[in-house]
Amino acid sequence: MVRLILDSTGQYRFPVLQHFEVEEAALARIRKIPCTRLVEIGTIAVRPEHRKGPAHMELVKVIMTTTWRRGVRFVLSCIDEGYFHGLLRKGLFCRPIGPAKMYMGSVTVPVLFDSAELPWKYRLLFFVYRIWGRFYSA
């Protein structure tokens, strides 16, 4: 399950920024990003039995779809610490923006995804996915 949060107010009122202690350097970087280029993906829930399967690719598809369809480059989120480390092992790069803490039942890491920093294999897979989707829906 994924929930997309937009901020049309320009006030950076994203839940991850309100519920976590965000490092000053990360907050300064985030505040330089126009709100039209930033979204939060909240409530990333992947059942434990699916975490070692293709679920991480579905997450990548959601992030890439969100960023490219909306012209957004940056995605804020908070991710279960175990799943966060699994994403890093699989090559999905995301920057922690503050310390992990107990949040909604598990130790959770606040992160910032930059679609420009995704490895080329994910970009290529998503490009093929987008082309196939356009062809399929035509």
Residue 126: which domain range? 3-137
Query: For residue 123, is pLDDT > 90?
Result: no
Structure-derived torsion over alpha carbons of residues 45, 3, 69, 123, reported in degrees to the nearest 10: -20
Q: Domain count of the chain?
A: 1
Question: What is the CATH classification number for the domain harbouring 11?
Answer: 3.40.630
Q: Which of left, alpha, beta for 32 (phi over 0: left; psi -120 to 50: alpha)?
A: alpha
pLDDT digit string, tens, across residues 44-68? 556 667 666 666 666 667 666 767 7
Q: pTM of the predicted model, to two decimals?
A: 0.74
pLDDT band, very low/low/confident/very high, at 28 (cuts 50, 70, 90): very high
Residue that wins the pLDDT comparison between 53 and 137: 53
Kindly list the distances between the CA atom of residue 47 and the CA atoms of 24, 55, 61, 124, in Å, as whole numbers in the listed order: 33, 9, 17, 27
